[in-house]
Amino acid sequence: MNTQLDGDTHSESGDLMYIARRVSVEEDLPGAGADCLSTEGGGPVDSGLEDALGTVVSSLDDYRGQFPELQLLEQELKLLQATLKGGKHSRSPSMVSLTVETALGSFDFLNTSDWEEEEEEKSDRRGRSGRSLQDRGWDCPSSPTFPLTTGCTPLDCSLTEHLKNCSTQLLRLGTFGPLRCGEMYALDRLLREVQVLENIRRVTKDNPRRLRQPAEVIPQLGLCLGAVSLWQQCMGQGSVYRVSAESFLATLSTVYSRMLPERSSNMADKVFLCLVERILDQRLPRRGSSRDSVMVTLFQLWTYLEANGISDMETHITELAEEVWLVHSLESCDQDVTVHALRRPAESSLRREGLHAVAKLLKDPRGKISASASSVLRSLTAQPRQREQALVSCLELLEDENMDTRVCGCKALACLKAKESIEQLVYICRTDKEEVRDAAKQALLVLGEEGKMAHRHVETSQDSIPRLFAPGSMASTAF
């Protein structure tokens, strides 16, 4: 409520009289609906944002000085925390306290011991997080009573999800194989998360509860044809910042089902599920209520499009359908189906998962299938761009937990005549199980004179070639 003075009434003496009237005043938040309120029941909603931030900061300490790339993440997190704790869009502490006190006063007759215990636990947890942040040279929240917030619940939840993603990627650092693929991919994803956090910080400073279009939140989204309209259809009247995975899948089906290639038209659900899983970088339950709570953020979509250089949604989904069809066909128990799929696979189908599926057939006991898979990989040696992509995908297999998959990785590198992989194969020859070592040695023998020389060194002496990929030499990142 606010007080307004009207000056349109005159007294008998002719003097102007002001009459005070109470009028309702709405906060100036155009387009802010219930979905974007940061408070429910008079107090901020604890989205777990503060705990997620504390976890990332704690994890960063474990890698201090080892990875220069992480300095960017730490700097952005400090800027973000300073923006959040400013409370620009939240109510003032006095207003919140008054509202909470008034509301609680109405329920004095209730036994609130359980509620009080829960609040004490939350307060203690936030207090511990605040002390932890302060010990590391970070600012602690201005008030231990209320959680950190952007001022918009869906944006809080989106930010929490991306902070959890950061923690997940940090856990992948320090676990490496001959190429350290997992470590390099984790660092790349962390640098992309830095861009996401920067975008969220920018939106937070500019009133996150204001109604926005997707391209206003992320202007670069417009660089991919069809991405903005796809997200607009997904969000409907809901939040621009995130939608449910089910809603995203349903919209993909509505918009793109008719555009799929004919041979994969009956696999639409599998194609769209594959796309969503790649955007989220996680497997989804095939059916059931456990999938209902999974959300996709606008920032995850943008990160996926940018990381994969996607400029047209329809083209990308069409190419993805070809890859899904190939992988599905290669998993068939029918030899004729598998051989037919390997005869002339579409270029767009030979991406990461498609290449992995082909390589894993090199150890198939059915000679016709293993020969066909070998032929596909050998054909790529005449196509530099595709060969480079295949080389990276096959090197990844050397780090797989499954021994047979590592064997197939060695065989695939031999098919590609990948002299670039000699050092990695030497490492395998010295460290892996016997079957994998034998496959690596066989691969070296077909990699020209350099490969044969490396093979001789491996056979005669364990110390004749520097162990470039030994654990002791991996204290820091080198690209």
Is the pLDDT at 279 greater than 80? The verdict is yes
pLDDT at 467: 46
Domain end point (choices 210, 229, 250) = 210
Q: Is residue 247 a part of any domain in this protein? A: yes
pLDDT at 175: 66
72 and 195 in a single domain? The answer is yes
Q: Which residue has the tokens 């997190």?
A: 77
Q: Is residue 2 a part of any domain in this protein? A: no
359 and 281 in a single domain? The answer is no
pLDDT at 465: 44
Q: Please return the burial class of 42, using the count of CB atoms within 10 Å of its CB with bins 0-12, 13-18 and 19+.
A: middle
Return the structure tokens found at 270.
Answer: 């599998």
309 and 236 in a single domain? The answer is yes
Q: Tell me, what DSSP letter sits at residue 9?
A: E
305 and 431 in a single domain? The answer is no
Q: Is residue 27 a part of any domain in this protein? A: no
360 and 283 in a single domain? The answer is no
Distance, in Å, from the CA atom of 80 to the CA atom of 58, rounded to the nearest integer, reads 16
pLDDT at 22: 44
**By the 8 A CB rule, do 311 and 223 touch?**
yes
pLDDT at 62: 87
Q: Is residue 338 a part of any domain in this protein? A: no
Distance, in Å, from the CA atom of 291 to the CA atom of 245, rounded to the nearest integer, reads 8
Contacts of 385 (CB under 8 A, 6+ apart): none
| pLDDT per residue as tens digits for the range 133-156 | 555 556 554 445 567 899 999 999
398 and 299 in a single domain? The answer is no
pLDDT at 73: 95
227 and 251 in a single domain? The answer is yes
Mean pLDDT of the chain: 80
Per-residue confidence at 36, pLDDT binned at 50, 70, 90?
Answer: low
pLDDT at 87: 43
Distance, in Å, from the CA atom of 322 to the CA atom of 353, rounded to the nearest integer, reads 11
56 and 205 in a single domain? The answer is yes
The more confident residue out of 2 and 297 is: 297
The more confident residue out of 164 and 286 is: 164
Exposure letters 391-413 (e unless 16+ CB within 10 A, then b): bebbbbbbbbeeeebbbbbbbbb
**By the 8 A CB rule, do 59 and 172 touch?**
no
| pLDDT per residue as tens digits for the range 322-335 | 999 999 999 999 99
pLDDT at 341: 96
Percent of the chain with pLDDT over 90: 59
324 and 287 in a single domain? The answer is yes
Task: Average the pLDDT over 51-68 and give the result.
Answer: 90
Domain end point (choices 210, 229, 256) = 210
Distance, in Å, from the CA atom of 476 to the CA atom of 67, rounded to the nearest integer, reads 6
Q: Which 3 state secondary structure label does DSSP give 225?
A: strand
Q: Is residue 74 a part of any domain in this protein? A: yes
The more confident residue out of 286 and 402 is: 402
Per-residue confidence at 182, pLDDT binned at 50, 70, 90?
Answer: confident
272 and 407 in a single domain? The answer is no
52 and 178 in a single domain? The answer is yes
Task: Average the pLDDT over 410-417 and give the result.
Answer: 96
Distance, in Å, from the CA atom of 147 to the CA atom of 479, rounded to the nearest integer, reads 39
Q: Is residue 38 a part of any domain in this protein? A: no
86-90, 168-172, 222-226: range with lowest mean pLDDT: 86-90
pLDDT at 292: 72
Range of the domain at 433: 351-473
Contacts of 409 (CB under 8 A, 6+ apart): 359, 394, 395, 396, 397, 398, 400
Number of structural domains in the chain: 3
- First CA to last CA distance, the chain: 61
Distance, in Å, from the CA atom of 470 to the CA atom of 430, rounded to the nearest integer, reads 10
pLDDT at 118: 56
Q: What is the pTM of this model?
A: 0.76
Domain end point (choices 210, 225, 240) = 210
Q: Is residue 105 a part of any domain in this protein? A: no
Of 292, 310, 246, the closest CA to residue 272 belongs to 246
Q: Which 3 state secondary structure label does DSSP give 322?
A: helix
Is the pLDDT at 189 greater than 90? The verdict is yes
Q: Please return the burial class of 286, using the count of CB atoms within 10 Å of its CB with bins 0-12, 13-18 and 19+.
A: exposed
**By the 8 A CB rule, do 299 and 158 touch?**
yes
Q: Residue length, the chain? A: 479
Return the structure tokens found at 120.
Answer: 């004490």
254 and 318 in a single domain? The answer is yes
Q: Tell me, what DSSP letter sits at residue 7?
A: E
Per-residue confidence at 88, pLDDT binned at 50, 70, 90?
Answer: very low
